[in-house]
């Protein structure tokens, strides 16, 4: 079976972790990966969890060589809206050099590139690898990685390693290999302003009672100053501005200058924290964002009601130095401080995760950049991702090592959306990149 | 047929003006009213309009006597949620002294009390009334009265009168007859803040682009000052505070003190414009209210998106001196002033209507209060309604006369809701009240 046929087989599993009806498909996909890795000589096992299996596969021991933990996730997002797909999300097809399927970028092709990279090294080395490899492949990344976080705490010895390798982030552009040495953390919550016991007629009662939407808007308006900074006491405690070398480096990342970012997002101009470029704000500054707001009437025309409540969905992106639990406490304390008297508010904590940053100039970081350059033929750009993958910060902390993020998702890969895809030429290069990386990590000891 | 049987017949028409499927029922209801009034010796006609018929019925001419225009509407609100009705909304039943049906309070029982009041006077006077009566009964009040407003402009002579009588407002409490000498006006609009061209990942882009929800909240927070006053330039131009005698009078309206209003609405304490009681704010102060807000994610948990737009539904209640069109211009100008640079906002005007106030101590006003006291056995309270009935201000203006608002809807009448009802003892008194009123108006010339 060709490499592409094997990838297609992997992509055919409808391993949607969020949907109970697909629990069997998720388990089948794990079993297929165990078979594949066993066939390569790995000691591979599917570990049962409260939800979806975790695949751990270890290469035959090569004494004295570093141990590399390659992380990936074989679960995928739901496919809705299905009517916008040009072909069946679980029947991969190749069009114009891209393979289209759910999971084509996020994360099956990426994790499978590493498996194939290892396979090519095994052939090259006559069954011996230049490093010790542990694959850690989970089936719950799209639903929060709860089982893996539990598993990490209980299996530190099994997963012990010198460095983690992950391909589950973005590539700046097709010819721009990207090394991410950081991720923002996240802290989510919900603010609810409760008003009258029932929706009131805004004529019959308007002017006499606090309107929850007005109160909510007024409270939310206190969260930023005129310069775009977050006005919550203590929010920036421990936050360092990006280093000068980072600012210089980021100013050269293709597509990340302010004009390009405005064009990409379809706004007339960026609106950033005073003193920082768009890229700097995304990579290295914390945010307080409103992801949703609702209350009262949303239909056509008007309905003159004072609603019983109004709600805002809030998420903060965090940088090193910020603890998600503490940030949620600060946000809550701020709302309690600014809430008008006589109004009942409630702040509900949702999930959170710490930021992650490693030194891109470490021995392993340099090896990763060399591997990217070898495979893609260009010097990689060094960025911090604006997004969050809390499980990576957690793995790095629990195992006490760096995670190297070698992103392969193109900006137009449509991950989480209809017509998710992967450029096959880049995927082939990713296989080479994985082999190069392990070779260099083996040398670097 | 007894009076109650006749009322039940009227209530059985499912004359829902909003629903095309009921167009025939609305017309049938108009025809039934024409037949009833013709049977009483009136020159009654159903006038076709672009939508629902308007019934005009004139009593035989009594020279030298004032002409009284009695307005009512025979259309009703939709019945949803139907499952919450304890009995069929169009099969009236009497339970515990109340009649339950859609339209039982709003406005069929009320207009029919006036028809029966006139009928009793005809019997009393051997076919002659103490005044000239014109009934003006429309079928579009629940959908905005567009046809009537058009009809008014074209039929001033047909509708010419000395005073208008309307029972379509509230009664403060069962033993508290209520004379409303004012209504607030209204001006509605929608504010849309447009942001990025598509929903953005709040990690991948957060910090670099203006968040439409944040911008909307910040703009809305500029609309009131800390004292609860509307902070829109020119908003209060021409607005007079209530007169001292009104403030004294309103302080005595049962159920309208601040403690009772808080209990009624289920809030810990009222929140009013500084220097005014709840009743004063409702009766005589303009408001800027947010009736709805939405943008981004509203589901369970979190979805970390920066939405492409955020929207607020706005309505202002107006008092005499404020023109709805001008108020919408001021609101728009305010938003244009406070909108941050680089953000695209849109303000869309919706419907509006002027406030209405007449002198409760006029000759006709006094007659109305005497009639209320005679029928209900208590001195009436004098209030201005916080709600808006734009067609009443329009009729008063077009016809150049006062409108006397003699409300019969009890606070628990559940108008527009399931289990709408009318207390039959009050309905019987309303028939007497109508006869008393016309007698007194006849004398007062």
Does the structure show a pLDDT above 80 at B92? yes
Chain A residue with minimum CA distance to B207? A281
Report CB contact under 8 Å: A213, B271: no
Contact A211, A195 (CB under 8 A): yes
Range of the domain at A116: 3-183+355-444
> What is chain B's mean pLDDT, rounded?
96
Q: Element (H or E) spanning A342, and its range?
A: none
Q: Element (H or E) spanning A383, and its range?
A: strand A381-385
- The verdict on B202 touching A (C-beta cutoff 8 Å) is yes
Asked if residue B348 is part of any domain, the answer here is yes
Contact list, A207 vs chain B (CB under 8 Å): 272-273, 276, 278, 281-282, 285-287, 317, 386
3-state secondary structure B82-130: HHHCCCCCCCCEEECCEEECCCCCCCHHHHHHHHHHHHHHHHHCCCCCC
- Cα separation, A276 vs B208, whole angstroms: 9
Contact list, A184 vs chain B (CB under 8 Å): 203
Asked if residue A335 is part of any domain, the answer here is yes
User: Are B309 and B371 members of one domain?
Assistant: no
Residue A173 per-residue DSSP state: B
* Alpha-carbon distance A332 to nearest alpha carbon in chain B (angstroms): 17
Asked if residue A247 is part of any domain, the answer here is no
User: Which of B149, B163, B132, B191 lies closest to B54 in space, CA to CA?
Assistant: B149
Report CB contact under 8 Å: A287, B386: no
pLDDT of residue A175: 82
**B276, B289, B301: residue with CB nearest A202:** B289
- The verdict on A146 touching B (C-beta cutoff 8 Å) is no
Chain B residue with minimum CA distance to A388? B203
* Alpha-carbon distance A388 to nearest alpha carbon in chain B (angstroms): 7
Does the structure show a pLDDT above 80 at B445? no
Report CB contact under 8 Å: A387, B268: no
Buried b (16+ CB within 10 A) or exposed e, B277-298: bbbbbbbbbbbbbbbbbbbbbe
Asked if residue A54 is part of any domain, the answer here is yes
Contact B201, B175 (CB under 8 A): no
Report the CATH number at residue A225.
3.30.70.360
Tokens of B441: 């108006």
End-to-end CA separation in angstroms for chain B: 35
User: Are A176 and A323 members of one domain?
Assistant: no
Does the structure show a pLDDT above 60 at B420? yes
Asked if residue A406 is part of any domain, the answer here is yes
User: Are B94 and B215 members of one domain?
Assistant: no
Chain A to chain B, count of Cβ pairs less than 8 Å apart?
289
Residue A379 per-residue DSSP state: P
User: Are B77 and B170 members of one domain?
Assistant: yes
Report CB contact under 8 Å: A317, B282: no
Please name every residue paired with B402 in a beta bridge, in sequence order, or none if there are none: none
Chain A residue with minimum CA distance to B276? A208
User: Which of A23, A24, A30, A63 lies closest to A44 in space, CA to CA?
Assistant: A30
Report CB contact under 8 Å: A273, B207: yes
- The verdict on B312 touching A (C-beta cutoff 8 Å) is yes
pLDDT of residue A173: 85
3-state secondary structure chain B: CCHHHHHHHHHHCCCECCCHHHHHHHHHHHHHHHHHHHHCCCEEEEECCCCCCEEEEECCCCCCCCEEEEEEECCECCCCCHHHCCCCCCCCEEECCEEECCCCCCCHHHHHHHHHHHHHHHHHCCCCCCCEEEEEEECCHHHCCHHHHHHHHHCHHHHCCCEEEECCCECCECCECEEEEEECEEEEEEEEEECCCCCEECCCCCCCCCCHHHHHHHHHCCCECCCCCECCCCCCCCCCCCCHHHHHHHCCCCCCCHHHHHHHHCCCCCCCCCCCCHHHHHHHCCEEEEEEEEEECCCCCCCCEECCEEEEEEEEEECCCCCHHHHHHHHHHHHHHHCCCCCEEEEEEEEEECCEECCCCCHHHHHHHHHHHHHHCCCCEEEEECCCCHHHHHHHHHHCCCEEEEECECCCCCCCCCCCEEEHHHHHHHHHHHHHHHHHHHHCC
User: Are B19 and B53 members of one domain?
Assistant: yes
**A196, A203, A281: residue with CB nearest B208:** A281
Q: In tens digits, what is the pLDDT along chain A, a chain of 445 residues?
A: 899 999 999 999 999 999 999 999 999 999 999 999 999 999 999 999 999 999 999 999 999 999 999 999 999 999 988 999 999 999 999 999 999 999 999 999 999 999 999 999 999 999 999 999 999 999 999 988 999 999 999 999 999 999 999 999 999 888 899 999 999 999 999 999 999 999 999 999 999 999 999 999 999 999 999 999 999 999 999 999 999 999 999 999 999 999 999 999 999 999 999 999 999 999 999 999 999 999 999 998 888 899 999 999 999 999 999 999 999 999 999 999 999 987 899 999 998 999 999 999 999 999 999 999 999 999 999 999 999 999 999 999 999 999 999 999 998 898 988 999 999 999 999 999 999 999 999 985 4
Give me the mean pLDDT over the B127-155 stretch: 96
Task: Please report which confidence band the pLDDT of residue B379 belongs to, taking 50, 70 and 90 as the band edges.
Answer: very high
pLDDT tens for residues B323-351? 999 999 999 999 999 999 878 999 999 98
- Cα separation, B219 vs B237, whole angstroms: 22
Tokens of B237: 């131009």
Report CB contact under 8 Å: A297, B291: yes
Please tell me chain A's helix, strand, coil percentages from 3-state DSSP, rounded to the nearest 5: 35, 25, 40
- The verdict on A213 touching B (C-beta cutoff 8 Å) is yes
Q: What are the residues whose beta carbons fall under 8 Å from the beta carbon of A191, sequence distance 6 or more?
A: A216, A219, A220, A311, A312, A314, A335, A345, A346, A347, A348
- Cα separation, A129 vs A118, whole angstroms: 8
Best A200, A293, A418 member to test B by mutation, with max B CBs in 10 Å, is: A293
Residues 321-360 of B with CB under 8 A from A: 340-344, 350-351
- The verdict on B390 touching A (C-beta cutoff 8 Å) is no
User: Are B108 and B60 members of one domain?
Assistant: yes
Whole-number percent of chain B with pLDDT over 90: 93
Residues 159-198 of A with CB under 8 A from B: 170, 184, 186, 188, 190, 195-198
pLDDT of residue A444: 57
Residue A212 per-residue DSSP state: H
- The verdict on B242 touching A (C-beta cutoff 8 Å) is no
Report the CATH number at residue B376.
3.40.630.10
Give the C-alpha distances (Å, rounded to integers) separating A200 from A56, A321, B190.
Answer: 58, 45, 19
- Cα separation, B132 vs B115, whole angstroms: 13
Give me the mean pLDDT over the B67-78 stretch: 97
pLDDT of residue A81: 87
pLDDT of residue A371: 96
pLDDT tens for residues B283-336? 999 999 999 999 999 998 888 899 999 999 999 999 999 999 999 999 999 999
User: Are B21 and B129 members of one domain?
Assistant: yes
Asked if residue B364 is part of any domain, the answer here is yes
Best B206, B270, B277, B340 member to test A by mutation, with max A CBs in 10 Å, is: B206
Give the C-alpha distances (Å, rounded to integers) separating B52 from A186, B24, B25, B29, B33.
Answer: 57, 9, 10, 10, 14
- The verdict on B296 touching A (C-beta cutoff 8 Å) is yes
Contact A62, A128 (CB under 8 A): yes
Give the C-alpha distances (Å, rounded to integers) separating B261 from A307, A396, B152, B272, B382.
Answer: 16, 58, 37, 12, 17
User: Are A384 and A410 members of one domain?
Assistant: yes
- Cα separation, A64 vs B229, whole angstroms: 75
Integer-rounded Cα Rg, in Å, for chain B is 24
Q: Element (H or E) spanning A360, and its range?
A: none
Give the angle B385-B391-B395 at the CA atoms, nearest 5°.
Answer: 105
pLDDT of residue A188: 96
Report CB contact under 8 Å: B207, A287: yes
Give the angle A320-A358-A394 at the CA atoms, nearest 5°.
Answer: 70
Domain final residue pick, A324, A353, A382:
A353
Residues 251-280 of A with CB under 8 A from B: 258, 261-262, 265-273, 278-279
Does the structure show a pLDDT above 80 at B444? no
Residue A327, SS3? Answer: helix
Q: Element (H or E) spanning A134, and its range?
A: strand A132-138
- Cα separation, B440 vs B445, whole angstroms: 9
Report CB contact under 8 Å: B295, A292: yes
Report CB contact under 8 Å: B265, A205: yes
* Alpha-carbon distance A440 to nearest alpha carbon in chain B (angstroms): 30
Asked if residue A149 is part of any domain, the answer here is yes
Tokens of B52: 């629902």
Report CB contact under 8 Å: B290, A198: no
Chain B residue with minimum CA distance to A283? B204
B301: left (phi over 0), alpha (psi -120 to 50) or beta: left
Work out whether strand B132-138 and strand B54-58 pair parallel, antiparallel, or are unpaired: antiparallel
Whose tokens are 């969260």? That residue is: A223
User: Are B232 and B306 members of one domain?
Assistant: yes
Q: How many residues can be counted in chain B?
A: 445
Asked if residue A368 is part of any domain, the answer here is yes
- Cα separation, B165 vs B162, whole angstroms: 10
pLDDT tens for residues B16-37? 999 999 999 999 999 999 999 9
User: Which of B237, B228, B193 lies closest to B326 in space, CA to CA?
Assistant: B237
- Cα separation, A139 vs A51, whole angstroms: 9
- The verdict on B305 touching A (C-beta cutoff 8 Å) is yes
Residue A83 per-residue DSSP state: G
User: Are B73 and B16 members of one domain?
Assistant: yes
User: Are A307 and A373 members of one domain?
Assistant: no
Report CB contact under 8 Å: B261, A221: no
- Cα separation, B56 vs B33, whole angstroms: 10
* Alpha-carbon distance A184 to nearest alpha carbon in chain B (angstroms): 8
Count structural domains, chain B.
2
* Alpha-carbon distance A194 to nearest alpha carbon in chain B (angstroms): 9
Rounded to the nearest angstrom, the gap between the alpha carbon of residue B329 and the centroid of all alpha carbons in its chain is 24
Q: Would you tell me how many other CB atoms lie within 10 Å of the CB of residue B259?
A: 10
Chain B residue with minimum CA distance to A277? B208
Does the structure show a pLDDT above 90 at B173? no
Contact list, B218 vs chain A (CB under 8 Å): 217, 220-221, 224
Contact list, B220 vs chain A (CB under 8 Å): 213-214, 217-218, 221
User: Are B24 and B153 members of one domain?
Assistant: yes
Give the angle A272-A273-A278 at the CA atoms, nearest 5°.
Answer: 40
């Amino acid at each position: 079976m060709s490499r592409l046929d094997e990838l297609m087989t992997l992509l055919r599993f409808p391993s949607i972790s969020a949907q109970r009806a697909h629990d069997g498909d998720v388990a089948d996909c794990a079993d297929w990966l165990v078979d594949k890795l066993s066939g390569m000589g790995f000691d591979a096992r599917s570990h049962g969890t409260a939800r979806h299996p975790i695949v751990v596969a270890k290469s035959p021991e090569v004494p004295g060589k570093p141990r590399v933990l390659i992380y990936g996730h074989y679960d995928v997002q739901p496919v809705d809206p299905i009517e916008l797909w040009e072909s069946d999300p679980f029947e991969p097809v190749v069009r114009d050099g891209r393979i289209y399927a759910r999971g084509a970028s996020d994360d099956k092709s990426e994790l499978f590139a590493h498996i194939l990279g290892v396979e090519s090294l095994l052939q090259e080395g006559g069954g011996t690898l230049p490093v010790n490899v542990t694959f850690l492949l989970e089936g719950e990344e799209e639903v929060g990685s709860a089982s893996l976080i539990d598993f990490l705490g209980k299996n530190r010895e099994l997963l012990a390693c010198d460095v983690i390798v992950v391909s589950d982030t973005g590539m700046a552009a097709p010819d721009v290999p990207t090394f991410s040495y950081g991720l923002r953390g996240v802290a989510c919550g919900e603010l609810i302003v409760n008003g009258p016991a029932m929706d009131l007629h805004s004529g019959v009662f308007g002017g006499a009672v606090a309107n929850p939407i007005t109160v909510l808007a007024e409270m939310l308006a206190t969260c930023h100053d005129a310069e775009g900074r977050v006005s919550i006491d203590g929010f920036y405690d421990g936050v360092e501005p990006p280093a000068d070398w980072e600012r210089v480096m980021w100013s050269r990342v293709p597509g990340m200058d302010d004009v390009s970012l405005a064009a990409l997002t379809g706004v007339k101009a960026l609106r950033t924290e005073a003193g920082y470029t768009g890229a700097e704000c995304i990579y290295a500054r914390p945010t307080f964002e409103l992801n949703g707001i609702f209350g009262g009437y949303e239909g056509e025309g008007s309905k003159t009601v004072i609603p019983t409540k109004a709600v805002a969905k809030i998420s903060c992106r965090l940088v090193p130095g910020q603890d998600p639990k503490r940030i949620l406490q600060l946000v809550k304390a701020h709302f309690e401080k600014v809430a008008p008297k006589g109004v009942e508010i409630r702040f509900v904590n949702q999930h959170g995760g710490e930021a992650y940053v490693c030194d891109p100039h470490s021995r392993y970081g340099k090896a990763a950049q060399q591997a990217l350059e070898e495979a893609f033929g260009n010097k990689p750009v060094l960025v911090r991702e604006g997004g969050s993958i809390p499980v990576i910060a957690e793995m790095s902390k629990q195992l006490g090592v760096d995670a190297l993020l070698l992103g392969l998702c193109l900006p137009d890969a449509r991950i989480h959306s209809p017509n998710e895809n992967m450029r096959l030429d880049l995927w082939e290069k990713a296989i080479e990149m994985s082999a190069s990386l392990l070779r260099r990590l083996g040398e670097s000891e």
